[in-house]
């Protein structure tokens, strides 16, 4: 059992879609040294109808569908599974408990609709005790993870350290990505980016003004696919010293993906398949949405991974088992602890109620921690009760209450003993 830790949990507006914050006035190079086109020519395979879906796929009127249809909207690259899945034992139980929220005792079953749930998988001590799929989803449905992909990126950093591809998290980013010399990220370490303390003047904004530079850059990256997701790194301004201030930014995580690709010499989807997805015993291929068409685009590792719900559960169980799957150590136990025990005092900012470590969110008065994605994507891990919860949701973009109620639901799940 991990050492006891005080935890704080997050204010919701800071979870995971790639969202840009400044103008792109120059050209950059990226991903396997493929240059960005000299003009912003849109992805020719994306018709006007598809472009409009890319602009609106997070909208509450359609996201119950689009969040599990990403490969019908965006270009993608696969994360291949192996031939043999690690089995998950299963014994289905009804949600026969209640949780407290705002002074009300709520039947657990009601949380599914109240918190916009597409899929829910609950593991106790490695066994599925409840599994629910809604809105025409099922065992083979691949769900968008949003910023839970950040936590996966952190796992891959731990793997690259164990493999010797990265020497230390205290190395500077420019040691791996010299393209970032003389930018806002020059002087920042891998640790700084893991902690969202790069010093760059950049924070995610999920609903930028339609006439803003942020909206234009998002259009070029996500919709037209003619800019790379890390292009902005060459143009961001420095706000303060690296390591000083927490600023939640998908750009930080995308740069960590750039570091991983440079360090390993492989696209991140291939390294993930080789080093995590196959050893994990995943039952199905996953995939990343990309920021460009085949041969030019790269995996958007900060927000774009997709997988079946049970494979997210396997990830959570691996973390719960301190990096192991069965008898095999996938990532070092020390990395699991380093990733989930806060270095800085919680919360991350005054008025908030969450802590943050290496791309994982931490919980107050609990040893539990979470991977959290925009609009309600969760992998919740509680070492004290041997609980893993995967919840794939379709929150409206501005619904803060659904995050808070989901946390109350997870805490009650931790205390639930379905087999007593």
The strand pairing partners of 332, in sequence order, are none
Alpha-carbon gap, residue 291 to 296, rounded angstroms: 8
Per mean pLDDT, which range of 150-164, 200-214, 234-248, 326-340 is the poorest? Answer: 200-214
Count of C-beta atoms within a 10 Å radius of residue 265: 10
Triad 118, 89, 405: Cα angle to 5°? 35
Per the domain annotation, does 393 fall within a domain?
Answer: yes
- Domain containing 20 equals 12-415
Under a CB-based contact definition with an 8 Å cutoff, are residues 232 and 22 in contact? yes
Beta strands in 160-244 (DSSP E): none
The strand pairing partners of 131, in sequence order, are 121
The encoded tokens of residue 165 equal 């591809």
Under a CB-based contact definition with an 8 Å cutoff, are residues 368 and 414 in contact? yes
Alpha helix segments (H runs only) across 57-138: 63-66, 111-114
Alpha-carbon gap, residue 185 to 183, rounded angstroms: 5
**Average pLDDT rounded to a whole number, residues 340-365:** 85
Q: What is the pLDDT of residues 65-81, one digit of tens each?
A: 999 999 999 999 999 99
Per the domain annotation, does 268 fall within a domain?
Answer: yes
Alpha helix segments (H runs only) across 208-288: 213-218, 250-264, 268-272, 278-280
The encoded tokens of residue 73 equal 């909207």
Of how many residues is the chain composed? 420
Per the domain annotation, does 281 fall within a domain?
Answer: yes
Under a CB-based contact definition with an 8 Å cutoff, are residues 391 and 119 in contact? yes
Instruction: Give the total number of structural domains in the chain.
Output: 1
Q: What is the pLDDT of residue 30?
A: 38
Q: What is the pLDDT of residue 13?
A: 29
Triad 111, 116, 117: Cα angle to 5°? 75
Under a CB-based contact definition with an 8 Å cutoff, are residues 276 and 155 in contact? yes
Judge whether residue 3 has pLDDT over 80. Answer: no
Per the domain annotation, does 4 fall within a domain?
Answer: no
Per the domain annotation, does 76 fall within a domain?
Answer: yes
pTM higher than 0.85 for the full model? yes
The DSSP letter of residue 3 is P
Per the domain annotation, does 144 fall within a domain?
Answer: yes
3-state secondary structure of 55: helix
Q: What is the pLDDT of residues 172-195, one digit of tens each?
A: 999 999 999 999 999 999 999 999
Q: What is the pLDDT of residues 104-153, one digit of tens each?
A: 999 999 999 999 999 999 999 999 999 999 999 999 999 999 999 999 99
Alpha-carbon gap, residue 7 to 70, rounded angstroms: 33
Q: What is the pLDDT of residues 191-208, one digit of tens each?
A: 999 999 999 998 887 666
Alpha-carbon gap, residue 107 to 104, rounded angstroms: 10
Q: Is 91 exposed, middle or buried (0-12, 13-18, 19+ CB in 10 A)?
A: exposed
Q: What is the pLDDT of residues 406-418, one digit of tens each?
A: 999 999 999 999 9
Tell me which H or E stretch contains 56.
helix 48-56
CATH code assigned at 197: 3.40.710.10
Per the domain annotation, does 420 fall within a domain?
Answer: no
Torsion angle (degrees, nearest 10) of CA 265, 315, 399, 117: 130
Alpha-carbon gap, residue 78 to 66, rounded angstroms: 18
Per the domain annotation, does 321 fall within a domain?
Answer: yes
Alpha-carbon gap, residue 241 to 252, rounded angstroms: 15
């Amino acid at each position: 059992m991990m050492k006891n830790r005080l935890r704080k949990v997050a204010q919701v507006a800071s979870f995971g879609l790639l969202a840009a914050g400044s103008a792109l006035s120059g050209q950059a190079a990226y991903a396997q040294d493929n240059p960005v086109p000299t003009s912003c020519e849109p992805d020719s395979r994306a018709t006007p109808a598809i472009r409009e879906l890319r602009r609106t796929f997070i909208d509450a009127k359609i996201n119950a569908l689009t969040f599990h249809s990403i490969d019908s909207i965006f270009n993608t690259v696969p994360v291949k599974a192996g031939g043999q899945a690690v089995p998950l034992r299963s014994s289905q139980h009804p949600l026969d408990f209640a949780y407290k929220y705002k002074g009300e005792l709520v039947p657990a079953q009601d949380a599914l609709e109240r918190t916009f749930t597409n899929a829910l998988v609950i593991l106790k001590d490695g066994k599925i005790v409840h599994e629910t799929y809604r809105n025409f989803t099922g065992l083979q449905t691949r769900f968008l993870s949003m910023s839970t992909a950040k936590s996966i990126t952190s796992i891959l950093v731990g793997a690259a350290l164990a493999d010797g591809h990265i020497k230390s998290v205290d190395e500077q980013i420019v040691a791996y990505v010299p393209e970032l010399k003389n930018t806002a990220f020059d002087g920042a370490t891998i640790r700084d980016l893991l902690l969202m303390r790069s010093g760059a003047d950049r924070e995610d904004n999920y609903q930028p003004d339609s006439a803003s530079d942020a909206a234009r850059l998002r259009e070029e990256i996500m919709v037209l696919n003619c800019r790379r997701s890390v292009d902005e790194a060459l143009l961001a301004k420095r706000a303060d010293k690296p390591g000083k201030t927490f600023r939640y930014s998908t750009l930080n995580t995308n740069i960590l993906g750039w570091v991983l690709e440079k360090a390993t010499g492989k696209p991140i989807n291939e390294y993930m398949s080789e080093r995590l997805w196959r050893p994990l015993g995943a039952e199905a291929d996953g995939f990343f949405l990309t920021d460009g068409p085949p041969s030019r685009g790269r995996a958007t590792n900060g927000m774009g991974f997709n997988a079946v719900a049970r494979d997210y559960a396997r990830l959570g169980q691996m973390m719960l088992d301190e990096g192991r799957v069965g008898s095999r150590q996938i990532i070092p136990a020390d990395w699991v602890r380093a990733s989930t025990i806060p270095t800085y005092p919680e919360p991350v900012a005054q008025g908030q109620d969450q802590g943050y470590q290496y791309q994982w969110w931490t919980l107050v008065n609990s040893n539990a921690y979470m991977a959290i994605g925009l609009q309600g994507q969760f992998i919740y891990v509680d070492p004290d009760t041997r609980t893993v919860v995967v919840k794939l949701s379709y929150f409206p973009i501005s619904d803060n209450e659904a995050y808070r109620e989901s946390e109350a639901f997870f805490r009650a799940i931790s205390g639930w003993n379905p087999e007593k």
